[in-house]
Amino acid sequence: MRRFIVKTLPVLLLAASAVAAHAQDKSKIKVGVSVGNAEQTFEVVKKVAAREGLEIQLITFSDYLQPNEALAAGDLDANAFQHKPFLDSQIKARGYKIVPVALTITAPLGIYSKKYKTVDQLPAGASIGIQNDPSNGNRALLLLQKAGLIKLKPGVGENGVNATPLDVIANPKKLKLVELDAAQLPRSLDDLAAASVNNDYAVKAGLSLQRDAIAVEDAKGPYANLIVTRAEDKDKPWVKKLVKAYQSEEVRKFIEAEFKGSLIPAF
C-alpha cells in the first residue's frame, strides 16, 4: 500500500496541477471599454477570440475612472481604454495592482471648435477647455503649445512631469484655460471658443478629427492605448488569447478601414 501511495502521489499532483492551470484559463471574460469606437473594435475582437474558445463580454463605461476601479475590484478581467501616462497616474494615486499587457490603438487628441476654423482665428481672451485629469490635461497643454498658443516652463509636460495651467509662462492671446471632466468637454463646446477632446468622446459627440479639429496631436507618441489586467493575471493563458485576438490582422484591417486615420493600430 505504501508503494502504491508513493507511486500514485506524483500522478495525483500532476493532475491537480493540470486542473489548476485549466481553472486559470477562463473561457469567458469581462472587458471594460469606453463607449464608441472601442465598442466597435471589440465586436471584431470578440469574433476572433471566439474562434480560440474565448468568449468576451463587453462592459461599457462613460468615464475614465470607473474601469480601473472595477478591474482592481475584480468586477472586470481586463479593460482597454487608456494610455500609459493615465494608467501610471491612476496607479500612483490609488495604489491599484494593475498592469499593461498589450498595445491597442493610438487615438490622436484634437482641439475642436464650433466657432473657428483655425487656431489663428481664436480671439484674445478666448476660453479653451482642457481635461482636468493630470495626464490628459498635460496632453492638452502640449497640444496647445504645439499649436503656438502657449509656452510651458522648460522641463514640464514630458518625461513623466505633468504640466498644469500654472506651468504656462507665455500666453500671447491671454487664453482662459477651463479645466473640465473629459466627458463634459464635447457638451461644453457651445460655451467655449474651443476644447481639447479625447477621440472616443469626440466620436460619440459626432465630431470628426479630420473635419472638425483645428489642431491635432502627432500620431506617434507615448499615448498608445493599452489592454490592462490585474497583476496577478498578466501571465494567464486567457490573457494571451485576448492579446492575440486584438492584435490580429483582422482587427488591424478593421481599424484602418473603419476609422481612416482617426485611430491608428499601435501594434
Q: How confident is the model at residue 18 (pLDDT cuts 50, 70, 90)?
A: very low
What's at 212, amino acid-wise?
D
Q: HSE (CB half, 13 Å, CA atoms) of 231?
A: 5
Q: What is the mean pLDDT of residues 2-26?
A: 50
Burial classification of residue 16, based on how many CB atoms lie within 10 Å of its CB (0-12 exposed, 13-18 middle, 19 or more buried): exposed
- Quick one: 110-216 is in which CATH superfamily? Periplasmic binding protein-like II (3.40.190.10)
Average pLDDT over residues 24-44: 92
- When comparing pLDDT for 186 and 260, which is higher? 186
User: Could you say which of 3.40.50.970, 3.40.190.10, 1.10.8.640, 3.20.20.70 is the CATH number of the domain covering 2-108+222-265?
Assistant: 3.40.190.10
Distance of alpha carbon 217 from the chain centroid: 15
DSSP structural state of residue 187: G
Do 185 and 133 form a contact (C-beta atoms < 8 A)? no
Q: Rounded to 5 degrees, what angle do the CA atoms 78, 264, 58 make?
A: 25
The mean pLDDT of 246-258, rounded to a whole number, is 97
One fold for 2-108+222-265 and 110-216: yes
Domain boundaries, the chain: 2-108+222-265, 110-216
Tell me the three state secondary structure of residue 3.
helix
For residue 7, the model assigns a pLDDT of: 52
Q: Could you give the CA distance from residue 72 to residue 252 in angstroms, rounded to a whole number?
A: 29
Q: Residue 210 — φ and ψ, nearest 5°?
A: -70, -35
What pLDDT, on a 0 to 100 scale, did the predictor assign at position 24?
58
Q: Is the pLDDT of residue 22 over 50?
A: no
Q: How many CA atoms lie within 13 A of 180 on its CB side?
A: 22
In angstroms, the CA 111 to CA 113 distance is 7
d(Cα 52, Cα 239) in Å, to the nearest integer? 12
Predicted TM-score of the model (pTM): 0.73
